[in-house]
Structure 1
Amino acid sequence: MTHASAAAASNAGAPATFPLNAWYAAAYDVEVKRALLPRRICDVGMVFYRTTDGRPAALEDACWHRLLPLSLGRLEGDEVVCGYHGLVFNADGRCTHMPSQETLNPSACVRSFPVVEKHRFVWVWPGDPALADPALVPDLHWNHDPAWAGDGKLITVQCDYRLVVDNLMDLTHETFVHGSSIGQRAVAEAPFVATHGDRTATVTRWMEGIDAPPFWAGQIRQARGYTGPVDRWQIIRFEAPCTVTIDVGVAPAGSGAPQGDRSQGVNGFVLNTITPETATSCHYFWAFARNYSLHEQRLTHELREGVAGIFREDEVVLEAQQRAIDEHPGYRFYNLNIDAGAMWARRLIDGMVAKERRVIPLHAVPAAPRAA
């Protein structure tokens, strides 16, 4: 048994750690084509495809008849044909054909899921379809805004999705995990401010008059021709349950960036949205967008691959952390001052999960006793 399957087995029956009434990135838009794409989201197998008019659709990846994954079948027009006995399901999940019979069983359907295409992602809502408001899709507009250029990738990480959120909310780890690229002692030593709202938490850190780390020294030299001390910023914004945008950059020291004038510097946004796969694995979608040298495709490619290398360092740490958690069941983390943002993020996630648990389905409400 692999580590992932063993961990999943050990978590069978455990309380859910992710809310269902939320939009989760299921795929980059280019991944969803006129073909069947299986993906596990919030511990539910789903299959994604595009209809003939280009709209994305999502069905539960299990045939009503014998539970064979529908992703092992084929796409005909706007319908999915099961690869076992040929049952056909439309994009709403309704069976439209059964072999060797004219009468269709009215219960023959598979679950369909609300989907929205926005910010270069296909988003899916695993919870109550009546609550699936497209306005609640997290704001990642930098990913397609013409004033920004960038690209990203998908990593499937063998860890609880909340560990990725923890990692992004506390960037002091850059000093120790990413010392050859973006890390420097100033990150670990600089003061920060943590704030929170009903659905968001923000960590703001400014480092003024410092030497730029290798990555940012190269960016400002190439884009602005500047070498010298810089003012560096990191503004991390978490949106529950699992989207983190990080406003990052450097500007010449004393040029006014802390006061709001970043015109002489270079600015990037690290876009992160993490989708639970199982209790101990997740789909980590990320992109890096920049507002300088917009038409240099070579730079876009170099930055994507460079950031991918940085995130591979995170992946090693996160998966090792998950293995240690599996070996120490019931262990409670200790928290430091630097964990303030991660703590607020977890509280917001826990609040969403608790709210869903308090909602009692009508069929679960006991009937009132009859009068004697």
Structure 2
Amino acid sequence: MFLKNAWYVGCTPDEIDGKPLGRRICGEKVAFFRGPENKVAAVEDFCPHRGAALSLGFVQDGNLVCGYHGLAMGADGKAASMPMQRVAGFPANKTFPVVERYGFIWIWPGDPELADESLIPHLEWADNPDWAYGGGMYHLNCDYRLMIDNLMDLTHETYVHPESIGHHAIDKVPVNTVVQGDSIVTSRYMSNIVAPPFFQLQLRYNGMPADEPMDRWQISRFTPPANILIDVGVAFAGKGGFEAAREDKIGTIVVDFMTPETETSHWYFWGMARNWKPDDAEITEIIRQGQGKIFHQDLAVLEAQQKNLSEYPGRHLLMLNIDAGGVQSRRVLERLVKKENLADIETA
């Protein structure tokens, strides 16, 4: 179950440097490429001649050329040419609205007439020199909503990531969940603790002592269709926590964009943005690698969880107060998908 009339991260610009890219998005087979004037384009990944995958071809003069028999398709989905053949009468392929912005290529897999570029979330760090960002992408064989559950309830950090961001205090402090329209916010604040190793690393790189008592915060914000930004950090104990002065704290924004592939698989675009020492590329890469290792630990848990759920579809899962963020996020998605489906029926 996924929302189609929404913007998802389809890929990153480097993935289509000089070549097309095939990717399934919300069940749709898509071929991304750079068309005329280097502008990104996305068409159905299906050659109308013999059904070959267009993404296995190459780009020439702004057209996507099928690597099977040389049919050239334009960014408008229309067959442009083919050696010694007439293809002008071929039916046009489906095309998808795409926008290159903030270091990502966004795709709208639903009704093209509803694609409003103003709905692409604003990413402050992407066009602000006071910020730095580093990230990556993983493919997971699990329902994207399991990742949403994971990110909206950070209780698992104590058990899945004990050597990096886990801490026993997480189990001792309740999580607060707030519904703000279509957004869901979960938060947890911990006082007078020892900073976990991953935060100690950041403190040292920022020239701050890492062995003093700290106050810690975790604030996860879900917005449809599958975007989660997590404000995390530590401040010297008694200095105000999240509201502490800049010189008394260190914080980052964990960036999470989930893009459904199928009902049981998705693309996970992750990263971390920070507004301290933004010009230090070495720190950015060290944090990126560390975060990548942390998130990689979640892969095994979530994919095994999906296997269990697929094997035992009738098993009832228990819901606790720590699950409220994920539950509320799913309710938002269910409501929006239902609304979208009703609109489709009314216009059919």
Query: Taking structure 2 as the reference length, what is the TM-score of the superposition?
Result: 0.95
- Post-superposition offset of 1:234: 0.8
C-alpha root-mean-square deviation of aligned residues, in Å? 1.7
1:291 to 263, 266, 275: 275
User: Residues 103, 152 of structure 1: CA spacing in aligned structure 2 closer, same or farther, 3 A cutoff?
Assistant: closer
Task: Measure, in 1, the Cα distance between the counterparts of 2:69 and 2:308.
Answer: 44
Secondary structure in structure 1 of the residue aligned to 2:297 = helix
Q: Does 1:38 align with 2:3?
A: no
Task: Measure, in 2, the Cα distance between the counterparts of 1:305 and 1:42.
Answer: 29
| 1:244 alignment counterpart | 228
Task: Measure, in 1, the Cα distance between the counterparts of 2:57 and 2:78.
Answer: 16
| 1:13 alignment counterpart | none
Task: Measure, in 2, the Cα distance between the counterparts of 1:222 and 1:74.
Answer: 44
Q: Which amino acid aligns with 1:149?
A: A
Task: Measure, in 1, the Cα distance between the counterparts of 2:49 and 2:85.
Answer: 14
Task: Measure, in 2, the Cα distance between the counterparts of 1:139 and 1:331.
Answer: 39
- Post-superposition offset of 1:214: 1.3
- Post-superposition offset of 1:318: 0.4
Q: Which amino acid aligns with 2:49?
A: H
2:151 to 146, 151, 168: 168
- Post-superposition offset of 1:195: 0.9
1:116 to 88, 93, 99: 99
Secondary structure in structure 2 of the residue aligned to 1:295 = coil
Secondary structure in structure 2 of the residue aligned to 1:356 = helix
Q: Once structures 1 and 2 are overlaid, which stretch shifts more, 261-270 or 122-131?
A: 261-270
Task: Measure, in 2, the Cα distance between the counterparts of 1:18 and 1:265.
Answer: 38
| 2:51 alignment counterpart | 67
1:82 to 61, 66, 71: 66
2:113 to 130, 140, 145: 130
User: Residues 267, 360 of structure 1: CA spacing in aligned structure 2 closer, same or farther, 3 A cutoff?
Assistant: closer
Task: Measure, in 1, the Cα distance between the counterparts of 2:205 and 2:20.
Answer: 43
Q: Does 1:308 align with 2:292?
A: yes
- Count of aligned residue pairs for this structure pair: 347
Asked if the contact 2:36/2:63 (under 8 Å) is kept, the reply is no
Q: Once structures 1 and 2 are overlaid, which stretch shifts more, 107-116 or 90-99?
A: 90-99
| 1:12 alignment counterpart | none
| 1:223 alignment counterpart | 206
Describe the superposition over 1:230-266 as per-residue Cα deviations: whole angstroms up to 9, x where unpaired.
1111111001110000001111111123445343211
Describe the superposition over 1:128-151 as per-residue Cα deviations: whole angstroms up to 9, x where unpaired.
001110111123332443211121
Equivalent positions of 1:1-372 (< 5 A) are 17-98=1-82, 100-102=84-86, 104-105=88-89, 108-226=91-209, 227-259=211-243, 261-361=245-345, 364=348
- Post-superposition offset of 1:353: 1.2
- Post-superposition offset of 1:37: 1.0
Q: Which amino acid aligns with 1:56?
A: V
Secondary structure in structure 2 of the residue aligned to 1:245 = strand
Asked if the contact 1:81/1:89 (under 8 Å) is kept, the reply is yes
Task: Compare CA radii of gyration and give the structure with the larger one.
Answer: 1
User: Residues 231, 61 of structure 1: CA spacing in aligned structure 2 closer, same or farther, 3 A cutoff?
Assistant: same
Secondary structure in structure 2 of the residue aligned to 1:359 = helix
Q: Percent identity?
A: 43
Q: Which amino acid aligns with 1:212?
A: A
Task: Measure, in 1, the Cα distance between the counterparts of 2:332 and 2:346.
Answer: 26
Query: Taking structure 1 as the reference length, what is the TM-score of the superposition?
Result: 0.89
Q: Once structures 1 and 2 are overlaid, which stretch shifts more, 214-223 or 270-279?
A: 214-223
Describe the superposition over 1:73-106 as per-residue Cα deviations: whole angstroms up to 9, x where unpaired.
221111112233333211010122255454722x
Mark the runs of 5 or more structure 1 residues left unpaired by the alignment. Answer: 1-16, 365-372
Q: Which amino acid aligns with 1:20?
A: K
Describe the superposition over 1:322-349 as per-residue Cα deviations: whole angstroms up to 9, x where unpaired.
1111110133321100011111110111
Secondary structure in structure 2 of the residue aligned to 1:162 = helix
Describe the superposition over 1:201-241 as per-residue Cα deviations: whole angstroms up to 9, x where unpaired.
00121111111111112322331422310111111100111
